């Protein structure tokens, strides 16, 4: 690794001030589970790191019936995985977190750091997007809230300004008659994801007609991909196997995956079909019971 | 000595406390005062002339102590095969040209690894690219770029040093052929003429990584006063490594000491001489400072030896009842830029398989071809896994074609215990029949084979044989067992410990012979200065040869103790028993003398002789040298281990993902000295075999490795392992220590075949190319649906 | 740029250390190079294999991917800290020994730390819990079976009230 200057912020305000000062040469360090690998491989060489890992003020999980869930950006993956509150009200997040990397990474890595690293195969982003997440970005100049689906712009690239810090993730209260299913496909259980999907299905109360649906995929585009046309095909319909299968095919056609050592683009599309079909079916079954 | 009290038990490993408390020293843990770190600059091109190298900027970087290039090491040669006909052509640093992406072109020694790495970026190399060739069949065509010109030695070759009278001469590869092999017996043409059914198939096995957990590392420390090199290194036999350091650096053998370190995994990947090892010793002597070279994981994946890439064309003729009457195998080994052990692998792919089944008339030919890629060495089976994939998958298909059952097919073609096989080896122990029977039972073969396709499930079977050491320098292992003053013993035997367990099993072997416990054994192992002549642990001869030497040394001491005891007790040696550090009369155990007393007596009455046992074992007593690799004639080994493996899989037809439900490994290892260690060896090979069948492949494009890291080269983790059952089908090997023979590398090949054949049973789709990734399975299923 | 050394205070295996380090130093380098605790291993340097697992404030983490600066004021346990100083192995170490749960031993320190942390957190882990929590520890030698058996034996002994 190359040398760098190091600051440990003792408050969010101090962190904002430091990153404002060093925005051209510095990076914010949270758990470092993405950042340190990049530093070691010399893919980035900031000359200054501002360590915010110690900021307790950004480490929380809070829920309010009206406004919903707020997760501090420095909440670890493990805390989300194990949170009784999240297991009860947003269990798809807890399920998804179980498959993020390994326990060791989840113990130290943060949700905020994960989102900022903008890895196109990242797990949390699709699940959060399908739940309607927003994020709060703060800087010395002020703060703004943006929809998470608008946060990612390209491979490993977000709209975050060099002097901004991701401070909070906000989720609306769980929608009634709704279930969310997360599914991934990898060659090895703990292996690199070839494709993953998060599907939310809302049914009309007391019926088996789909009122609303949202499908978000990862690893099939530079950013988490919302397959809007596929979701549209589900709305207002009874979700029979045929309907789901057609929507899954549509979802595949909306993706534009690449070929790499793990899978070809064509195969990824085939897996999209299967995963979306299976996840939608499961979400639908769960939503009917909800 | 009828009841076994120490061997045959799952005793705790003697290296356990050290390894589990962090005290165990591995090479990567060695840190010496004043130690420098070296890093290697590697070629980014697969084939190019080196016009010039400018190291001046690197030399000026603060913290850099030295930079060396091929000019400094010009002419140094080494290689796993270094014979009069095939002189070695490997070199520590590229000289006038580079032949693969990753070949070392310079080395930097600096005060810390980061500085050394920064200095690499400052070295300027001017390359003149040459056309590369990556496919072995392309490489053999006329007009293909020639990767090697004349290969010569300016010193004697290894075989000359090891006793062969012929002088080495130069060898100029034609059409990039590094070596050929041809083994024949019987009359293959006649066999095929008499066959009632003939099948010809092609299989492909990619290169795979050993992925031992400890990266390749060496520490060397040159003492200019003693003119001696102290070394800590990753290896699988210090005799061979020490020989190559002596040869390449021109240091007398006794002036090189390889110290004991635990080694973090081998599987074959750490046995041959490596460029970084010669460079490490060279730099240490040049600078008179300790030097450490620790390769990164990426370097291990892309520039260290991986397993051999094999293309096999196999043609088998059978009678309608399944009796094999002829087989013709043509093997192409994609050797890479240097031949290393490719000539051996070609031969071994025949030699390991020949003891298993009687194929009547055989022709096995092979060619090892140079290509502009990283080159290879043995990995746990060394040619056998590749061959078994071809053979077992084809046998499975033949059975399908003829309506036969694979288990019955294998059984029908078995050899018999006591058979002398065509090369002269005698099967004094042959547990394969039992292994086939019991592995089939354990997977519920009769209930399941051919009956679960509607559930996308299937079962398959594979087999393998493995030598227990062969004729390779120094051809024998030795051991010394000293009696200590308190009646315990000190065992000195050179084998190294890379997880396979000799530190423990050898203590058990010695303790058993003398009526002692493992706690009574002090072990001195793996040190080239403290231990007597050693054989190796990469020829599957650890237990049989090394353990055999220990056994002989312990028995030698036993006989000496019995003689003393008989003298003191005035009884016949056969009436005396040894136990708990005492010799006592069998008929009257109260009449006893402690070992301490006997030792004291012997020193006083026998001119100071304190009772030392000395033993040796030659790997193959009847041969003086290695069998001819190119002709495959002559004795090969004194004992073969055998495995039969069955597997059950379930295939998700929609995604192609294969889930292994169960693997059974039934093993004949002669006798299990430590049942827990043996179980570990078999489970290990079950998981590695499954992984080879389904996941592992070194992927390359235009000579560049595409997946040189653990994210992209995937290996099973705790969640991925299926139910694994191991069955002991040991058939006592009379020439082995307590009946034991090899266990470390037989099963892997059998498991690969079993999984591949199970996939066929589950889907009706035959895949003879591994790994069967989900995508490959998916595509194969789609192709099947179209038909 | 001022990349000069900074001082951190960290407790490792119960002993307090004050160390002056460059900010880029990882926890793994701190343990091995500065404190001479070579039990924790460096195997992939890629945040992939878990051989460098240690426990920081009760959590299993990979030392190769944590900056040493971030353990300032924290408590770290390494494999050297599992047994008692007078030579009594921990229950898990005993179980590993009894079940032959290791071969080359290079990944064992990491496995011990992961399973120690898991057993502190979970009273009665299921087979699935154990396999999932051990996912971060790659092993090439053993094939995992005896290692899982060792952990399960400790869980069983707990159930039976033996420990």
| DSSP output for A89-113 | H-HHHHHHHHTSS-HHHHHH-BHHH
Closest by CA position to B459, among listed B85, B774, B759: B759
Site from C24, C63, C113, C131 to mutate, A interface, most A CB atoms within 10 angstroms:
C24
Q: Which two tokens stand for residue B533?
A: 């002549």
**Across the interface, which of C24, C60, C64 has its CB nearest the CB of A107?**
C60
Query: Average pLDDT by consecutive 10-residue portion of chain B (787 residues)?
Result: 85 98 98 98 98 98 98 97 94 98 98 97 98 98 98 92 89 96 96 98 97 98 98 97 98 98 98 98 98 98 97 98 98 98 94 96 97 97 97 98 98 98 96 98 98 98 97 95 98 97 98 98 98 94 97 98 97 97 96 98 96 97 75 87 98 97 98 98 98 97 97 94 98 98 97 98 95 97 94
Q: How do strand B476-483 and strand B256-258 relate by DSSP bridges? A: unpaired
CB within 8 A of C6, min separation 6: which ones? Answer: A6, C20, C21, C22, C23, C69
Nearest alpha carbon to residue B87 among B1, B45, B149: B149
Q: How many residues does chain A have?
A: 290
Helix, strand, coil percentages (3-state) for chain C, rounded to 5, are 40, 15, 45
Using a CB–CB cutoff of 8 Å, tell me whether B654 touches chain A: yes
Q: Are strands B489-493 and B521-525 parallel, antiparallel or unpaired?
A: parallel
- Of B707, B714, B779, nearest to A188 by CB-CB distance is B714
Nearest CB to C134; choose among B16, B264, B718:
B718
Q: Scan for tokens 């028993």, then name that residue.
A: B577
Q: How far is CA B427 from CA B422, B439, B635, B732, B736, in A?
A: 11, 21, 12, 11, 13
On whether the CB atoms of residues A190 and A85 are closer than 8 A, the answer is no
pTM for the model stands at 0.97
Indicate whether A60 and A167 sit together in one domain.
Answer: yes
Contacts of A40 (CB under 8 A, 6+ apart): A1, C45
The span from the CA of B710 to the CA of B696, in Å, is 11
Chain A residues near residue C61 by CB distance under 8 angstroms: 104, 107-108
**Closest residue in chain A to residue B717, using alpha carbons only:** A190
A141 and A194 housed in the same domain: no
CB-based contact B316:B353 (threshold 8 Å)? no
CB distance A1–B114 less than 8 Å?
Answer: yes
Task: Please name the chains neighbouring B, where neighbouring means 3+ C-beta pairs under 8 angstroms.
Answer: A, C
- Both structure tokens of B38: 């070296």
Residue B444 Cα to chain centre, angstroms: 32
The pairs formed by C11-19 with CB atoms below 8 angstroms and a separation of 24 or more are C11/C74, C11/C75, C11/C76, C12/C37, C12/C75, C12/C76, C12/C77, C12/C78, C12/C81, C13/C37, C13/C76, C13/C77, C13/C78, C13/C80, C13/C81, C14/C81, C19/C68
Q: CB burial class (10 A; 0-12, 13-18, 19+) of residue B532?
A: middle
Any idea what DSSP says for residue B410? H
Block residue for tokens 């155990």: B589
Element containing residue B714 per DSSP (H, E) = none
Give residue limits of the domains in chain C.
6-81, 91-159
C-alpha distance from C146 to closest chain B C-alpha (Å): 7
The answer to whether the Cβ–Cβ distance between C108 and B717 falls below 8 Å is no
Return the residue in B18, B23, B213 with the most chain C beta carbons within 10 A, the one to mutate for interface testing. B213
User: Do A76 and A113 share a domain, yes or no?
Assistant: yes
Name the residue of chain B whose CA is nearest to C128's CA: B719
In chain A, whose CA is at the least distance from the CA of C70?
Answer: A53
Angstrom distance (rounded) from CA B121 to CA B283: 20
> Do residues A103 and A32 both lie within one domain?
no
CA B83 vs. chain centroid, Å, equals 20
- Interface contact C144-B498, CB threshold 8 A: no
pLDDT in tens, C101-157: 999 999 999 999 999 999 999 999 999 999 999 999 999 999 999 999 999 999 999
B734 in contact with chain C, both atoms CB, cutoff 8 A: no
φ and ψ of B276, to 5 deg: -65, -25
Identify whether the C-beta of residue C121 lies closer than 8 Å to the C-beta of residue B39. Answer: no
From C159's Cα to the closest Cα of chain B, the distance in A is 23
pLDDT value of residue C148: 97
Domain containing residue A239:
178-289
Half-sphere exposure of B521 (CA within 13 A, CB side): 30
The number of C-alpha atoms within 13 Å of B51 and in the hemisphere containing its C-beta is: 7
- Considering only CB atoms, which chain C residues are within 8 Å of A107? 59-61
* Residues A161 and A201 reside in one and the same domain: no
Number of alpha carbons in the 13 Å side-chain half-sphere of residue B283: 33
d(CA B696, CA B520): 43
Chain-chain contact of B13 with C130 (C-beta, under 8 angstroms): no
- List strands edge to edge, sheet with B476-483: B521-525, B489-493, B476-483, B612-618
Mean confidence (pLDDT) of chain A: 96
Distance between A5 CA and the closest CA of chain B, angstroms: 17
Cis peptide before B603 (omega within 30 of 0): no
Are the beta carbons of B693 and B772 closer than 8 angstroms? yes
**The predicted structure's pLDDT at residue A74:** 98
Which of A104, A108, A110, A188 would you mutate first to test chain C, the one with the most C CBs within 10 A? Answer: A104
Q: Is the pLDDT of residue A68 over 70?
A: yes
Spell out the residues 6+ positions from residue B605 whose beta carbon is closer than 8 angstroms to its own.
Answer: none
**Both tokens of residue A5?**
């200057």
Q: How far is A209 from chain B (nearest CA, A)?
A: 27
Nearest-CA distance from B265 to chain C in Å? 5
Nearest residue of B to residue A272 by CA position? B655
Q: Smallest Cβ distance to A263: which of B695, B720, B775?
A: B775
Q: Which residues of B touch A187 (CB under 8 A)?
A: 657, 694-695, 714, 773-774
The CATH number for A115's domain is: 3.30.465.10
| Interval A69-84 mean pLDDT | 98
> What does the buried/exposed string (b/e) look like for B128-163 if buried means 16 or more CB atoms within 10 Å of the residue's CB?
eebebbbebeebbeeebbebbeebebebbbbbbebe
CATH 3.40.30.10 fits C91-159, yes or no: no
Greatest alpha-carbon span in chain B: 89
Please say which residue of A171, A187, A207 terminates a domain.
A171
Residue with token string 């520890």:
C137
- Give the one of A25, A105, A190 whose C-beta lies nearest to C47's C-beta: A105
Q: How confident is the model at residue C1 (pLDDT cuts 50, 70, 90)?
A: confident
Residue in chain C closest to A82 (alpha carbons) equals: C121
CB-CB neighbors (< 8 A) of A95 in chain C: none
Q: Which of C83, C104, C112 sits opposite B213 (nearest CB)?
A: C104
**Chain C neighbours, 3+ Cβ pairs < 8 A:** A, B
Tell me the residue length of chain C: 163
> A208 pLDDT exceeds 90?
no
The kind and range of the H/E element at B403 are: none
Nearest to C61 among A1, A47, A107 (CB): A107
Task: Tally the domains of chain A.
Answer: 3
The C-alpha angle C96, B666, B439, rounded to 5 degrees, equals 125
Tokens of B485: 């003053």
CA distance B48 to B132: 8
B695 part of contact set with chain A, CB < 8 Å: yes
- Picking from A51, A70, A85, the residue at the C-terminal end of a domain is A51
Closest CA to B612 of B695, B688, B556: B556
Same domain, residue pair A35 and A66: no
Of residues B592, B533, B603, B527, the one with CA closest to residue B565: B592
Does domain C6-81 fall under CATH 3.40.50.920? My reply is no
Kindly report the nearest CA distance between residue A30 and chain C, in angstroms.
10
- C-alpha closest to that of B159 among B246, B81, B91, B240: B81
**Contact call for B20 and C96, based on CB within 8 A:** yes
Residue in A261, A264, A271 nearest the CB of B706: A261
The predicted structure's pLDDT at residue B491: 98
Other CB atoms within a 10 A radius of the CB of residue C35 amount to 18
Contact B66, B108 (CB under 8 A): yes
Strand partners, B48: B98, B129
DSSP string, B2-53: -S-SSTTS-PPPTTHHHHHHT-PPBGGG---TT-EEEEEEE-SSSSEEEEEE
**Are both A162 and A93 inside the same structural domain?**
yes
Decide if B435 contacts B729 (C-beta within 8 A): yes
Number of inter-chain CB pairs under 8 A, A vs C: 88
Whether A183 and A276 share a structural domain: yes
Residue B704 to chain A, least CA–CA distance (Å): 13
Chain B hits for C140, CB-CB cut-off 8 Å, are 210-213, 265, 267, 688, 715
CA B163 to chain centre: 24
Q: Kindly report the CATH number assigned to the domain that includes residue A265.
A: 3.30.390.50
Chains touching A, CB cut-off 8 Å, 3+ pairs: B, C
Same domain, A189 and A155: no
The nearest CA of chain A is from the CA of C65 a distance in Å of 6
Are A33 and A62 within one domain? no
Do the chains contact at B265 and C140, CB–CB below 8 Å? yes
Domain end among A171, A186, A216: A171
Q: Which phi and psi (to 5°) does residue A33 adopt? A: -70, -20
Closest approach of B785 to chain A, Cα-based (Å):
15
Of C21, C15, C104, the C-alpha closest to C68 is C21
Kindly state whether B298 is in contact with chain A, defined as any CB-CB distance less than 8 angstroms.
no
Nearest CA in chain B to A189: B720
For residue B510, give the nearest of B1, B7, B3, B133 by alpha carbon.
B7
Q: Is the pLDDT of residue A134 over 90?
A: yes
Q: Which residue of chain B is at minimal alpha-carbon distance from A277?
A: B654
d(CA C111, CA C98): 16
Q: What is the CATH number of the domain that holds A14?
A: 3.30.43.10
Residue B711 buriedness (CB in 10 A; 0-12 / 13-18 / 19+): middle
* Residue C78: partners with Cβ closer than 8 Å, 6 or more residues away: B22, C12, C13, C31, C37, C39, C40, C54, C55, C109, C113
CB pairs B-C closer than 8 Å: 172
Q: Is B320 exposed, middle or buried (0-12, 13-18, 19+ CB in 10 A)?
A: exposed
| Separation CA B519–CA B95 (nearest Å) | 53
Together in a domain, A262 and A190: yes
């Amino acid at each position: 690794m190359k040398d760098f200057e190091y600051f440990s912020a003792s408050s969010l305000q101090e962190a904002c001030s430091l990153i404002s000062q060093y925005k051209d040469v510095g990076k914010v360090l949270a758990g470092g589970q993405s950042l340190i690998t990049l530093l070691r491989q010399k893919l980035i060489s900031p000359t200054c790191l501002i360590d915010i890992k110690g900021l307790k003020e950004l480490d929380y999980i809070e829920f309010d019936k009206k406004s919903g869930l707020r997760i501090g950006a420095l909440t670890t993956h493990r805390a989300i995985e194990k949170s009784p509150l999240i297991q009860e009200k947003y269990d798809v997040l807890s399920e998804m977190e179980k498959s993020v990397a390994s326990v060791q990474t989840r113990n130290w890595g943060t949700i905020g750091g994960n989102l900022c690293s903008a890895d196109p195969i990242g797990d949390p982003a699709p699940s959060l997007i399908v739940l309607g997440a927003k994020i709060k970005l703060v800087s010395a100049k002020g703060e703004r809230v943006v929809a998470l689906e608008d946060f990612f712009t390209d491979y490993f690239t977000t709209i975050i300004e060099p002097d901004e810090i991701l401070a909070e993730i906000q989720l609306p209260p769980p929608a009634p008659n709704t279930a969310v299913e997360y599914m991934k496909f990898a060659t090895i259980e703990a292996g690199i994801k070839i494709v993953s999907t998060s599907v939310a299905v809302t049914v009309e109360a007391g019926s088996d007609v789909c009122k609303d649906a949202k499908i978000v995929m990862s690893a099939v585009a530079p950013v988490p991909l919302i397959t809007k046309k596929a979701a549209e095909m589900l709305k207002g319909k009874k979700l029979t196997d045929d309907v789901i299968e057609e929507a899954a095919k549509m979802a595949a056609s909306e993706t534009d995956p690449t070929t790499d050592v793990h899978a070809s683009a064509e195969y990824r599309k085939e897996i999209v079909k299967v995963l979306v079909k299976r996840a939608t079916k499961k979400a639908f079954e769960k939503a009917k019971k909800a | 000595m009828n009841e076994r009290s120490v061997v045959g038990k799952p005793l705790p490993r003697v290296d356990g406390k050290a390894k589990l408390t962090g005290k165990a020293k591995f090479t990567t843990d060695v840190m010496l005062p004043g130690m420098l770190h070296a890093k290697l600059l590697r070629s980014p091109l697969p084939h190019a002339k080196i016009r010039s190298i400018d190291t001046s900027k690197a030399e000026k970087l603060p913290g850099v102590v030295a930079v060396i290039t091929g000019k400094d090491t010009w002419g140094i040669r080494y290689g796993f095969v270094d014979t009069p006909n095939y002189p070695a052509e490997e070199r520590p640093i590229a000289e006038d040209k580079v032949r693969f992406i990753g070949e070392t072109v310079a080395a930097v020694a600096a005060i810390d690894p980061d500085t050394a790495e920064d200095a690499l970026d400052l070295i300027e190399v001017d390359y003149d690219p040459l056309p590369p060739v990556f496919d072995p069949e392309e490489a053999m065509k006329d007009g293909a770029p020639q990767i090697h010109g004349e290969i010569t030695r300016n010193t004697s070759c290894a075989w000359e040093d090891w006793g062969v009278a012929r002088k080495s001469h130069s060898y100029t590869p034609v059409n990039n052929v590094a070596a050929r092999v041809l083994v024949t017996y019987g009359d293959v043409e006649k066999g095929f003429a008499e066959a009632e059914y003939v099948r010809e198939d092609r299989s492909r096995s990619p290169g795979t990584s050993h992925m031992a957990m400890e990266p390749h590392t060496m520490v060397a420390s040159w003492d200019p006063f003693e003119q001696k090199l102290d070394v800590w290194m990753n290896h699988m036999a210090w005799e061979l490594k020490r020989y190559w350091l002596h040869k390449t650096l021109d240091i007398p053998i006794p002036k090189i000491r390889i110290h004991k370190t635990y080694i973090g995994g081998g599987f074959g990947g750490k046995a041959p001489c490596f460029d970084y090892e010669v460079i490490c010793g060279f730099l240490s002597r040049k600078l008179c400072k300790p030097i450490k070279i620790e390769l990164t994981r990426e370097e291990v994946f892309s520039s260290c030896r991986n397993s051999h890439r094999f293309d096999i064309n196999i043609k088998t003729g059978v009678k309608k009842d399944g009796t094999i009457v002829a087989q013709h195998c043509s093997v192409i080994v994609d050797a890479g830029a240097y031949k290393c052990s490719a000539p051996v692998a070609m031969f071994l792919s025949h030699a390991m398989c020949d003891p298993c089944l009687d194929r009547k008339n055989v022709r096995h030919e092979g060619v090892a071809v140079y290509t502009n890629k990283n080159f290879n060495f043995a990995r746990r089976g060394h040619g056998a896994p590749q061959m078994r994939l071809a053979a077992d998958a084809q046998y499975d298909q033949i059975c399908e074609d003829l309506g036969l059952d694979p288990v019955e097919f294998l059984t029908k073609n078995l050899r018999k215990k006591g058979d002398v096989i065509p090369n002269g080896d005698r099967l004094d122990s042959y547990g394969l029949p039992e292994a086939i029977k019991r592995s089939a039972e354990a997977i519920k073969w009769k209930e399941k084979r051919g009956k679960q396709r509607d559930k996308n499930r299937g079962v398959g079977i594979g087999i393998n044989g493995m030598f227990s050491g062969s004729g390779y320098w120094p051809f024998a292992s030795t051991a010394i067992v000293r009696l200590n003053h308190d009646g315990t013993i000190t065992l000195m035997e050179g084998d190294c410990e890379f997880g396979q367990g000799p530190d423990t099993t050898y203590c058990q072997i010695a303790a058993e012979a003398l009526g002692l416990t493992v706690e009574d054994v002090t072990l001195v192992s793996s040190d080239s200065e403290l231990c007597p002549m050693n054989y190796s642990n990469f020829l599957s001869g650890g237990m049989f040869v090394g353990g055999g030497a220990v056994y002989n040394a312990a028995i030698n001491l036993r006989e000496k103790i019995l003689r003393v005891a008989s003298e003191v007790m005035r009884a016949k040696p056969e009436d005396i028993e040894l136990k708990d550090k005492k010799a006592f009369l069998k008929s009257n155990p109260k009449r006893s003398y402690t070992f301490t007393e006997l030792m004291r007596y012997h020193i006083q009455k026998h001119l100071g002789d304190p009772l030392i046992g000395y033993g040796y074992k030659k790997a193959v007593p009847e041969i003086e040298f290695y069998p001819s690799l190119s002709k495959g004639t002559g004795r090969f080994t004194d004992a073969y281990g055998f495995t039969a493996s069955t597997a059950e899989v379930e295939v998700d037809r929609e995604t192609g993902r294969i889930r292994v439900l169960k693997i059974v490994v039934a093993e004949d290892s002669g006798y299990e000295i430590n049942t827990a260690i043996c179980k570990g060896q078999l489970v290990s090979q079950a998981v590695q075999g499954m992984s080879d069948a389904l996941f592992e492949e070194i992927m390359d494009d235009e000579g560049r490795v595409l997946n040189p890291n653990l994210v992209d080269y995937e290996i099973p983790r705790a969640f991925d392992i299926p139910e694994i059952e191991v069955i002991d089908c040991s058939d006592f090997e009379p020439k082995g220590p307590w009946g034991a023979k090899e266990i470390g590398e037989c099963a892997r090949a059998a498991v690969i075949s079993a999984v591949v054949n199970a996939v066929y049973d589950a889907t009706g789709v035959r895949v003879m190319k591994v790994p069967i990734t989900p995508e490959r399975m998916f595509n194969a299923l789609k192709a099947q649906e179209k038909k | 740029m001022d990349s000069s050394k900074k001082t951190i205070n960290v407790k490792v295996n119960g002993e307090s250390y004050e160390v002056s380090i460059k900010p880029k130093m990882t926890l793994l380098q701190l343990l091995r190079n500065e404190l001479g605790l070579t039990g924790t291993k460096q195997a992939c340097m890629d945040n992939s294999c878990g051989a460098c697992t240690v426990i920081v404030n009760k959590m299993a983490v990979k030392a190769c991917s944590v900056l040493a600066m971030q353990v300032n004021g924290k408590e770290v346990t390494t494999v050297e800290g599992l047994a008692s100083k007078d030579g009594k192995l921990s229950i898990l170490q005993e179980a590993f020994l009894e079940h032959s749960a290791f071969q080359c031993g290079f990944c064992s320190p990491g496995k011990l730390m992961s399973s120690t942390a898991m057993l502190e957190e979970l009273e009665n882990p299921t087979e699935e819990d154990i396999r999932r929590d051990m996912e971060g520890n790659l092993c090439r030698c053993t094939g995992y079976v005896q290692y899982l058996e060792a952990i399960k034996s400790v869980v069983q002994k707990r159930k039976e009230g033996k420990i």
